[in-house]
Amino acid sequence: MASKNTPPVCNYEGSDYQTSFWDQGGREYEDRTEAIALKRLLPKSGRLMLELGAGAGRNTPRYAGFERVVLLDYSRTQLQQAQARLGKSDRYVFVAADVYRLPFVDGLFDGATMIRTLHHMADAPRALAQIRNVLQPGSVFILEFASKLNLKSILRYWLGRQKWSPFSQEPVEFAELNFDFHPKAVREWLQEIGFRIEKTLTVSHFRLDLLKRLVPIDILVALDSLAQWTGSLWQLTPSVFVRARVARNAIPHHIPGEVIQWFKCPECGRTPLESKRDHLYCSSCDSQWAIRDGIYDFREPLNN
Ligand SMILES: [Zn+2]
């Protein structure tokens, strides 16, 4: 991968993340507060949504307003779990790819989400620029990121129990390929590449084990739901959601009905690719991209 000069990616291949973190990890509070934030930010309807870092498809059913959804993840095994959860249908298209080398034609999607994923990006501005490229004029992009400027890190910093400052704008890598970002830095990156920020919600105000043990979850969720609106004033939670929009400075493009017309070769940029029995073929650079069990795999060409 070094030859392609893209940043390292965090790979959940073979991970039981969905089970250990979400299903058995006492994360009902986080899941429900995220659902509320998404509902507030999602457009009522849309045609083609790109879900970046879709994982096992936990959030995918929440995009019911969109006619079709492309689930993108670097890990095939996560996408297989998503297939098992959602079923195989025309509505969902499963793509294994690197966010720094998106295999889609420019201006394809009219909506995108990236939840709990920027967290793993060593070069966040570069990833965001890739996403911007594949969005149509007027599209909505919903981004969740982990904020370094949260109350817990501020307290720890003031008490001398944490070296890095939560107030400085550069990202902090608190574990390998796990980054927290300053809300102002994220806003500036989005604006620099042509997004306008429409709404900011703060989420998970009460992400403390002690609270989660003492207070009934329905109450915590209701309180968080109210507090989310303060996101437009200040952001001191570990999780922040923003809704950003691409300027509607041109007429939105037609979205081809055929999935194969959505793709470009991530190696050389050629489009369209040719459909072969079990792969897509690029006639410019000779790359073959596998299609296995309903998953398009654009990570490494078959004939590499
Ligand atoms: Zn090619």
Omega before residue 166 within 30° of 0, cis? no
Q: What is the pLDDT of residue 4?
A: 61
Tokens found for residue 139: 């599209």
Distance 287 CA to ligand 1 centre (A): 6
- Number of C-beta neighbours around residue 144 at 10 A: 24
The CA 261 to ligand 1 mean position distance, Å, reads 14
Query: Measured in angstroms, how far is the CA atom of residue 69 from the centroid of ligand 1?
Result: 25
Give which of 265, 209, 187, 168 is closest to 25, Cα–Cα. Answer: 209
- Give the C-alpha separation, 146 to 239, whole Å: 5
What is the 35 CA–ligand 1 centroid distance (Å)?
39
Q: How far is the CA of 70 from the centre of ligand 1 (A)?
A: 21
24: CB partners within 8 A, 6+ apart? none
Cα of 66 vs centre of ligand 1, distance in Å, is 30
What does DSSP assign to residue 258?
Answer: S
Phi then psi dihedrals of residue 204, to 5 deg: 70, 50
**pLDDT of the residue at 205:** 80
Q: CA–CA separation, 1 vs 271, rounded Å? A: 22
Distance 210 CA to ligand 1 centre (A): 53
**Tokens 């129990």 appear where?**
161
If you measure from the C-alpha of residue 91 to the centroid of ligand 1, how many angstroms do you get, rounded to a whole number? 27
Q: How far is the CA of 262 from the centre of ligand 1 (A)?
A: 14
Nearest CA among 190, 187, 82 for reference residue 131: 190
Q: How much is the pLDDT for 231?
A: 81
**pLDDT means over runs of 10, the chain (304 residues):** 68 79 76 93 96 96 97 96 92 97 97 95 96 96 94 92 94 92 96 96 81 83 83 84 92 89 97 96 97 96 86
User: What is the whole-number distance in angstroms between the Cα of residue 301 and the centre of ligand 1?
Assistant: 10
pLDDT at 252: 80
**pLDDT for 30:** 87
Q: What ranges in the chain are assigned the alpha helix state H?
A: 17, 28-41, 76-86, 124-133, 151-158, 183-192, 209-214, 217-227
User: How much distance in Å is there from the Cα of 289 to the middle of ligand 1?
Assistant: 10
pTM of the model: 0.92
pLDDT of residue 1: 39
Q: In the prediction, which pLDDT does 217 show?
A: 86
